[in-house]
């Protein structure tokens, strides 16, 4: 049996959690149950009738779409003369797992995550997902206009340096594809294992160059597993290092 670990989860009543979130986010949540769910990993979630668990994955899905939409709108207006390729790359860097994980820590959101003790060491890889789930919770709680204002005023204005983001490439898969094409290498992302169902589904991806495995990663999202495998490959090859 795993022991449940509440990573700095604020104990007590809904009012205490509501007050703590107001101090972190700058506004008072209305439907506090949405935020509790946003901070709950599937390993610590209660099972419901259909066998699924009341965890952050559905809110993460919604938050990902909302955040991407608002970031796309911001970039479209900020860079009126840039083409769609540039805008797509910038959006990918802003909503990358690494970037969102850093934002979660800056806001102190990582202190509210509830997960199995066995996942405590992986909390850094979970924080980005939780950040997206939080955006989903804010959207359902307060609506699109409020969420748009929150992202622009609380996140973009104070926590995102566009010049720095433009200068740093965190889309590891794109970098790897460009490198492979330039060096005439055959790059493949192979799905080597697929297990679980529903919210507990897990994908294992291998990144290979000319048949040699250079990176291997697993995630509940196939896209994220590919990015992580690509990152390991980029590191192994020393791409971008001076």
DSSP 97-147: HHHHHHHHHHHTGGGG-EEEGGGGGGHHHHHHHHHHHHHHHHHHHH-HHHH
Q: Are residues 150 and 56 in the same domain?
A: yes
179 shares a domain with 152:
no
Per-position pLDDT tens, the chain of length 242: 223 334 344 445 788 889 999 999 999 999 999 999 999 876 654 544 444 456 788 999 999 999 999 999 999 999 999 999 889 889 988 988 778 888 999 998 888 887 665 544 345 567 888 999 999 999 999 999 999 999 999 999 999 988 888 776 667 888 898 888 888 999 999 999 998 887 678 899 999 999 999 999 988 888 888 988 998 898 888 886 64
Q: How far from 61 is each of 33, 49, 116, CA to CA, in Å?
A: 17, 21, 21
Our answer to whether residue 64 is catalytic in this structure is yes
Return the SS3 of 204: strand
The owner of tokens 């589904």 is 201
Residue corresponding to tokens 């104070």: 158
CATH of the domain at 221: 3.30.160.20
pLDDT given for residue 46 in this prediction: 52
| Judgement on whether residues 162 and 225 belong to the same structural domain of the protein | no
Task: Look at the chain and report how many structural domains it folds into.
Answer: 2
Domain annotation covers residue 242:
no
Q: What's residue 3's pLDDT?
A: 33
Q: Are residues 68 and 131 in the same domain?
A: yes
Is 94 found in the same domain as 189? no
Same structural domain, 215 and 151: no
- In a domain? residue 115: yes
Tokens 């989860």 correspond to 9
> For residue 6, what pLDDT is reported?
44
Residues 77 and 103 in one domain: yes
Out of 133, 167, 201, pick the residue that ends a domain: 167
Answer for the pair 45, 55: CB distance below 8 angstroms, yes or no: yes
Residue 114, beta-bridge partner list: 6, 40
Q: Does some domain include residue 89?
A: yes
Regarding whether 145 and 231 lie in a shared domain, the answer is: no
Catalytic residue, chosen from 60, 114, 129, 132, is 132
Chain centroid, CA 203 distance in Å: 16
Residue 17's SS3 state is helix
117 and 190 inside one domain: no
Is 71 part of a structural domain of the chain? yes
SS3 state at 50: coil
Dist CA 101 CA 109 (whole Å): 10
Select from 167, 191, 219 the last residue of a domain.
167
In a domain, 63, yes or no: yes
Residue 147: name the closest of 239, 51, 68 by CA: 68
| pLDDT the model gives residue 123 | 54
Does 145 lie in the same domain as 48? yes
227 in the same domain as 186: yes
* Residue 139 domain flag: yes
Same-domain pairing of 115 and 159: yes
Q: Which one of 167, 198, 229 terminates a domain?
A: 167
Domain that holds residue 180: 172-237
Burial class (CB within 10 angstroms; exposed 0-12, middle 13-18, buried 19+) of 182: exposed
Of 64, 114, 141, 231, catalytic = 64
* 9/31 Cα distance (integer angstroms): 18
CA distance 161 to 165: 6
| Residue 60 among the catalytic residues | no
Q: What is the CATH number of the domain that holds 75?
A: 1.10.1520.10
Maximum Cα–Cα distance across the chain: 60
Q: What is the pTM of this model?
A: 0.67
Q: Is 72 within a domain? A: yes
- Identify the pLDDT of residue 197: 80
Is residue 90 in a domain?
A: yes
């Amino acid at each position: 049996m795993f022991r449940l670990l509440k990573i700095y989860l604020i104990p007590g009543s809904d009012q205490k959690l509501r007050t703590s979130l107001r101090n972190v986010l700058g506004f008072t949540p209305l439907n506090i149950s949405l935020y509790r769910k946003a901070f709950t990993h599937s390993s610590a979630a209660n099972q419901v009738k259909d066998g699924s668990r009341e965890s952050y994955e559905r809110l993460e899905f919604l938050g990902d779409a909302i955040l991407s939409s608002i970031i796309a709108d911001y970039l479209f207006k900020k860079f009126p003369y840039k083409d769609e390729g540039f805008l797509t790359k910038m959006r990918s860097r802003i909503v990358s797992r690494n970037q969102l994980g850093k934002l979660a820590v800056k806001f102190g959101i990582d202190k509210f995550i509830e997960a199995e003790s066995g996942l405590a060491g992986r909390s850094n890889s979970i924080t980005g997902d939780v950040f997206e789930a939080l955006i989903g919770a804010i959207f359902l709680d307060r609506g699109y206009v409020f969420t748009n204002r929150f992202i622009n005023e609380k996140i973009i204005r104070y926590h995102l340096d566009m010049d720095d983001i433009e200068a740093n490439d965190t889309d590891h898969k794109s970098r790897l594809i460009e490198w492979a094409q330039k060096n005439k290498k055959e790059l493949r992302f192979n799905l080597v294992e697929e297990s679980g169902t529903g919210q507990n589904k897990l994908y294992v991806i291998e990144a290979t160059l000319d048949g040699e495995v250079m990176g291997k990663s697993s995630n509940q999202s196939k896209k994220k597993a590919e990015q992580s495998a690509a990152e390991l490959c980029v590191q192994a090859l020393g791409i971008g290092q001076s």
